[in-house]
Structure 1
Amino acid sequence: MRIALVGCGAVTQAVYVPLLSRRRDLFEVSAVCDLSQTLADAVGDRLGAARRYTSLERMLADGGYEAVVVLASGSHGETVRQALQAGYAVLCEKPLALTRAEVAALPEGRLMVGYMKQYDPAVRRAEEVLAGLGGPGIIRAVEVTVLHPSGESQLAFANLEQARDVDAGLLATLRAAENELVSRALGESAPEPVRHLYGVALGSICHDLSLLRRFTGSPAEISYVETWGAAPGSIEISGPLPAQGRFSLRWHYLEDYPAYRETVVIHHDQGSIELVFPSPYLMNAPTTLTVVSGGESRTKWRDVTEAFEVQLAAFHAFVNDGKPPLTDVGGGLEDIVTAQRIAARYAVQHELPIGGEAA
């Protein structure tokens, strides 16, 4: 399947380039696009893509491929809209957008939202274990802890090409446009702490929201949100689960922590199901699944199959065989709504202004 890549930054270079290089049985990268010609050329050279663009509109008009993979930073709403409008199938990395309005403006088309943890073999096995126990109705609690070191430390091994050729005025215009989208989501008067919280919710915590969607369904209510420490700082979120029980999520940005670590534990009356995730940038590093059952017996399970690679294969099956993705436009919208509920709860607790869609 011929594809085009939009965005040639850190995730593209560290994750997608090596995976697409070894999955030439499934994909041919025909074109790449980035604001930086330097990055477009670097990624194009590594993947053998002859056509390199700095204009999305021109790349979409030229065609020569069947699908677009959106890997750029920030909101993806307008890029996805243009790609679907042009008739291409789209794999869009999370988040789908920053506002509900962007999602509502999307035309009909083949769209898959990328949450690679949903495709992790350990997560799929955990889903099977939970279903065998009785499903979401048996859950007492879900507890999530994320220890998040700096992105630079996580990507130090990757020797990334840096973009130094993008016009500063263009970057300022794009930042202003993104800030306007956040204002539409949270209201013009939403202060920086609320905006920061919303950014972390859609940029990182959304992975955990996507796992809650798979295990329990999205939370319909957020009961409590607190932050502390210098930004990015620490964030705590809790609320009821749709069937029964409650969830609690603690996210900590720890600049010099030795390694990324994310733990998701599902507690039920007969035991627990625990997932421990390594850094997402380490290819084929296994997630560990531990199932604790009666009598404190423990079963550990690991699989080195790369979740990002399984996700890419699922996109291929979606486009060519019509196999539904684990997250479509509806799931992407659910996570935006939940992130807005998180921001709104924090604003109400601290008597801060909140408006826009989140109100």
Structure 2
Amino acid sequence: MPSRIARVGVVGAGAATQAIHLPTLARFQDTFRVTAVTDVNEALAADVARRVGATAVSSLSDMLTDDVPDVVVICSPNPVHAEQVIASCRARVGAVLCEKPLAMSVGEAENIARVSRETGVPVIVGTMHSFDPVWQTVSRRWAESGASAHTVRIATHIPPNPVTEDLATEVTGRPAGPSVASPAPSRPSLDDRIARLRGGVLGLAIHDLPLARQLLPDAPLRVIAVREPAPGGYLILADVGGHLLEVFGGSSRNWFPDWQLEAIGDDNALLADFGPSYVHAGSAVADLTAPSPETGFTSTRMGPTTDNGYMRLWRSIGDLLDGRGTAPALDTLVADLAFAIELADQATNLLATQPAPTEVRA
């Protein structure tokens, strides 16, 4: 970790900042200190800054001019991620952590990579499962064994975000959701369905698509089916070089939270069970099954550990600042985003050609 306390500037004071990053940073008070917070909602920025003993500033530009932080955390709306990451790199901060997605297009991501190389500022994307210590161990063992998956499944069942956000902290400034007494919404338009599907891929599935890419061949992706489970969600089937990728996400207040990634091969299997993203309860638990001459197969369970993915992410940032870590490969970050955007583009294009669905229960 850094030899001195690193100053952290936070851009965007919403739920991700309040329920994920601030509780995580509170565990590293000898390593990181939030010194500046900015948000388009100045009252919210002031409230969050007060809670952590930081200064509320009016803009990212002011943050990067007055007292340049060691780390800038981008938790702002997705469309401004790229310009804010690039501005932070050009200010020669020590590192930039950007919540997913890194950008809204491959071209924007390539620009980020170019500026990051020019300035030497490392860029990290907040896909927390990539940093989960148990995932890193089980995926390494899978690769070392030479195993191959014919099917990779991502399955995410989550309640509405406020349910788990409130388990982490008291979130202020959050827009009010619909009242229980509100009338049932009318059938969504095609534009609404497309926006919801794209938002599901680039807002939720994107956490685990980089992990799926590790388990799949480097081959063209082709979406072959899209469904819309009720009461809200998505199911996408894709072919990746002859291997099947299944991506499911659904939300219901009555469902028990469940977030899994599974790889199935002819002789091997991997199942990683992650906790809800706003619950700071340690790492994933993973089972790795492989052939055994004595018993036919053997199954090894790993985890949980005390550290979760966000803790390991911030530990890795500390190592970068102290000159001991290795920055994520920029080409990989761009390729991860390109894969997610291609999945979203093909899925929404296919959805647009289908008739409006009859209700399908998940």
TM-score by length of 1: 0.81
Instruction: State the Cα deviation string for residues 169-216 of structure 1 (Å, max 9, x = none).
Output: xxxxxxxxxxxxxxxxxxxxx944333322211111111211123333
Tell me the CA shift for residue 347 of structure 1: 4.5
Checking the alignment, whether the CA contact within 8 Å between 1:7 and 1:32 is kept in structure 2 is: yes
1:130 is aligned to 2:142 = yes
Task: Answer yes or no: is the 8 Å Cα contact 1:33–1:54 preserved in 2.
Answer: yes
Task: Identify unmatched segments of 5+ residues in structure 2.
Answer: 1-5, 176-189, 355-362
Q: 1:42 to 1:130 in 2, by over 3 A?
A: same
Q: Against the structure 1 CA distance between its residues 347 and 20, is the aligned structure 2 distance closer, same or farther, given a 3 Å change threshold?
A: closer
CA distance in 2, matches of 1:248, 1:164: 32
- Give me the whole-angstrom Cα distance separating, in 1, the residues matched to 2:27 and 2:46: 19
1:8 aligns with 2:13: yes
Alignment of 1:28-177 (within 5 A): 28-49=33-54, 51-75=55-79, 76-88=81-93, 89-106=95-112, 107-108=115-116, 109=119, 110=121, 111-134=123-146, 138-163=148-173
Contact 1:140-1:268 within 8 A present in 2 as well: yes
Contact kept, 8 Å, 1:146 with 1:252, in 2: the verdict is: yes
1:264 aligns to 2:261 (yes or no): yes
Q: Which amino acid aligns with 1:100?
A: V
Aligned 8 A contact 2:23 2:168 in 1: no
Q: Which residue of 2 aligns with 1:310?
A: 312
- Residue aligning to 2:196: 196
Change (3 A) 1:231 1:112: same
- Contact kept in structure 1, 2:200 and 2:249, CA below 8 Å: no
Describe the superposition over 1:123-181 as per-residue Cα deviations: whole angstroms up to 9, x where unpaired: 0111222123115xx3222122111221122223244342289xxxxxxxxxxxxxxxx
3-state secondary structure, aligned to 2:204: helix
Structure 2 counterpart of 1:95, one-letter code: P
- Cα pair distance change 1:351/1:196, threshold 3 Å: closer
Mapped partners of 2:240, 2:76: distance in 1:
33
1:221-279 CA-partner distances (Å, limit 9, x unpaired): 123240324574222232225xx633222222234313x21111112232311111110
Equivalent residues in 2 for 1:195-274, closer than 5 Å? 195-216=195-216, 220-229=220-229, 232-241=232-241, 245-258=243-256, 260-274=257-271
Q: Is the CA contact (8 Å cut-off) linking 1:236 and 1:251 kept in structure 2?
A: no
Tell me the CA shift for residue 68 of structure 1.
0.9
Cα-Cα RMSD: 2.6
User: What CA deviation, in whole Å up to 9, does each residue of 1:280-314 have, x standing for no partner?
Assistant: 11113341111223335332221221210110111
Gaps of 5+ in 1: 166-189, 354-359
Q: Answer whether contact 1:118 1:214 (CA < 8 A) is retained.
A: no
CA shift at 1:28, angstroms? 2.3
Report the Cα distance in structure 2 between the residues aligned to 1:246 and 1:161, rounded to whole angstroms.
39
Q: Hey, what does 2:280 align to over in structure 1? A: 283
Distance in structure 1 (CA, Å) of the matches to 2:198 and 2:231: 13
Higher helix share: 1
Shift of 1:218: 5.8
How far apart, in 1, do the equivalents of 2:352 and 2:76 lie?
35
The 8 Å contact of residues 75 and 99 in structure 2, kept in 1 or not, is answered as yes
Change (3 A) 1:351 1:274: closer
Q: Distance in 1 between matches of 2:35 and 2:209?
A: 33
Q: Percent identity?
A: 23
TM-score normalized with structure 2 length: 0.80
Q: Which residue of 2 aligns with 1:300?
A: 301
Find the aligned partners of 2:35 and 2:289 in 1 and give their Cα distance: 47
Counterpart of 1:145 in structure 2: which amino acid?
A: A
Residue 49 of structure 2 aligns to a residue whose secondary structure is helix
Matches of 1:131 and 1:3, distance apart in 2: 35
